[in-house]
Structures are given as structure tokens and as C-alpha cells.
């Protein structure tokens, strides 16, 4: 039977805890979304906050990947959270008028397609760092600019 040293045990435990928290967050969000009997209001400011959170997560992932003390188990958890937030952003944005969201949806869909591969180990090769430095922040800033042109809210 294989033995794990202490650092591997800590890393495995931390990764399992991070994934459990992310999964719990997804389940709670989905429960609120599908069980809600009240009309929901989707606010432009909340969508912009999601974009800011995605940029922060991308920055955190970049810093973790560039650090000397890399913890690859956390990469998947953080990239999964980015992917999940992009899905949430996409879903909420669809409630606005179609003509006003087409440009933002196009950018979001490209990002979603990219981040859906986050459970593949080849996803974390050196090209990801370059993308985290340039493409992701630029795309999220473009989305934010487009979101600022939307109405303040939409009622479902």
C-alpha cells in the first residue's frame, strides 16, 4: 500500500475541502434558483460584481501558478470556480433583451468553452499563465464595459 508524506496529506485534504466548498456553493445556488417562488430581479451591478470576482479568481490562479510553492490541487478548485461563475453570468445575462447582450454573450461563450476544460491536467500547461496575464482580464473588462450599457435591472 502506498504511503503519503505529511505535505501530500495536507495538500490532498486542502484540495478536498476546497472542492467540497465549491460544490456546496453550487448546490445552494442551484437550490435557491430552482426553488424560488418569488419574482427574481437580476441587477446589472450583480453581473458586474461577478465579472470582478472572475478577474480576482484569475489573478489568484495566476499568482498560485507563478509561485515557487505550487499547489496544483488548488488550481482545479479555483479554475472550477471561474468556470462556474462564467456559467452563472451567462445564465443571468440571458434574461436581458437579446439585442443588448449578443456581444457580451459571444465573449462569455469563448471563455466558458476555454474554462470547461479545467479538469484536464493539460489545461494547466504554460500557456495558461500567458492567458491569465492577458486574455482573461481583457475579456472580463470588455464584458464589464458591455454590461454597463444594460438596463439597471430586469425582473423575471
Write down all domains in the chain, each with its CATH number in brackets: 11-155 (1.20.120)
Which of 78, 91, 75 has its CA nearest to residue 30?
91
As a whole number, mean pLDDT of residues 92-104 equals 94
Q: Which residues pair with 153 in a beta bridge?
A: 43
Phi/psi at 41 (5° precision): -115, 125
Q: Helix 44-66 to helix 72-93 angle, to the nearest 10 degrees?
A: 160
Q: What percent of the chain is modeled with pLDDT above 90?
A: 54
The answer to whether 140 and 107 have CB atoms below 8 angstroms apart is no
Per-residue model confidence as pLDDT tens digits over 53-70 = 999 999 999 998 988 777
Distance CA 66, CA 3 (A): 29
As a whole number, mean pLDDT of residues 31-44 equals 75
User: What is the reported pTM?
Assistant: 0.82
Amino acid at each position: 500500500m502506498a504511503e503519503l508524506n505529511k505535505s501530500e496529506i495536507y495538500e490532498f485534504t486542502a484540495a478536498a475541502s476546497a472542492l467540497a466548498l465549491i460544490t456546496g456553493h453550487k448546490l445552494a445556488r442551484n437550490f435557491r434558483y430552482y426553488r424560488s417562488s418569488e419574482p427574481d430581479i437580476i441587477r446589472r451591478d450583480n453581473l458586474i460584481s461577478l465579472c470582478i470576482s472572475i478577474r480576482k479568481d484569475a489573478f489568484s490562479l495566476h499568482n498560485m501558478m507563478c509561485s515557487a510553492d505550487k499547489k496544483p490541487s488548488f488550481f482545479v478548485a479555483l479554475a472550477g470556480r471561474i468556470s462556474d461563475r462564467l456559467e452563472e453570468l451567462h445564465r443571468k445575462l440571458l434574461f436581458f433583451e437579446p439585442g443588448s447582450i449578443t456581444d457580451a454573450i459571444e465573449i462569455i461563450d469563448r471563455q466558458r468553452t476555454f474554462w470547461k476544460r479545467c479538469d484536464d491536467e493539460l489545461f494547466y500547461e504554460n500557456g495558461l499563465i500567458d492567458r491569465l496575464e492577458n486574455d482573461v482580464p481583457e475579456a472580463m473588462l470588455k464584458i464589464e464595459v458591455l454590461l454597463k450599457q444594460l438596463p439597471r435591472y430586469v425582473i423575471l
